[in-house]
Amino acid sequence: MNLKTVLTKDTITLHLKGKTKEEIINELLDILAAAEKIQDRAAAFNAIMDRETKMSTGMKHGIAIPHGKSTTIRDLVACIGISDNPVDFDSLDHEPCRIFIMTLSPVEKTGPHLQFLAEISLLFKSSEKRQEILHASTPEAVLQILAE
C-alpha cells in the first residue's frame, strides 16, 4: 500500500487543538469530513469510540492510531493530525501523544486496514522520522517525509 494514495494534503492537519482523547478524535473526524472522505460522521465516531473501549489505540513514542470499521465506509480512509501539545491517550507506554493517525475502513475488507496499520507502525519506529513529522511546517512536508 502506498500511503500517498490514502493521504493527501487535505487529510493532514498541523496544530490540533484538542486536549482530550475525544476532542482529538472529533478533530480528526472533522478533517475526514471536510475532505469528503466520510459521509456519516456519527457512524464514524461510533466505530472509532467502540474500538477505543476495547483497547486504547495510543501506541508508543507519542503516536496514537485511532481506527475502526464501519458499514458506512466503502474504501479505507485516513488522516493525520499533529498536536503542538501532548495529549493523554491511554498509551501503552503511558506517555502522551502528539502524532495521531486515524483510519476507517469497511467492515468486509480486512486486508487494506491491516496493511495500512502495518505500514504506519513500521514507518514510525524511526525516532528521526517522528521528529521530522513533529517539526514539519506544512501538510505537504509531512507527505514528503512519509514518502522518503
Tell me the mean pLDDT per 10 residues along the chain, length 148. 81 97 97 96 96 91 93 93 96 94 90 80 82 96 88
Report pTM. Answer: 0.93
Strands (E), 27-125: 63-64, 67-70, 77-87, 97-106
Are the C-beta atoms of residues 81 and 118 closer than 8 Å to each other? Answer: no
SS3 142: helix
Distance CA 48, CA 71 (A): 13
pLDDT for 1 = 56
Query: What is the percent of the chain with per-residue pLDDT over 90, rounded to a whole number?
Result: 73
Are the C-beta atoms of residues 129 and 101 closer than 8 Å to each other? Answer: no
Cα distances (Å, whole numbers) of residue 14 to 29, 65, 109, 111: 14, 16, 30, 29
pLDDT for 2 = 63
Are the C-beta atoms of residues 78 and 6 closer than 8 Å to each other? Answer: yes
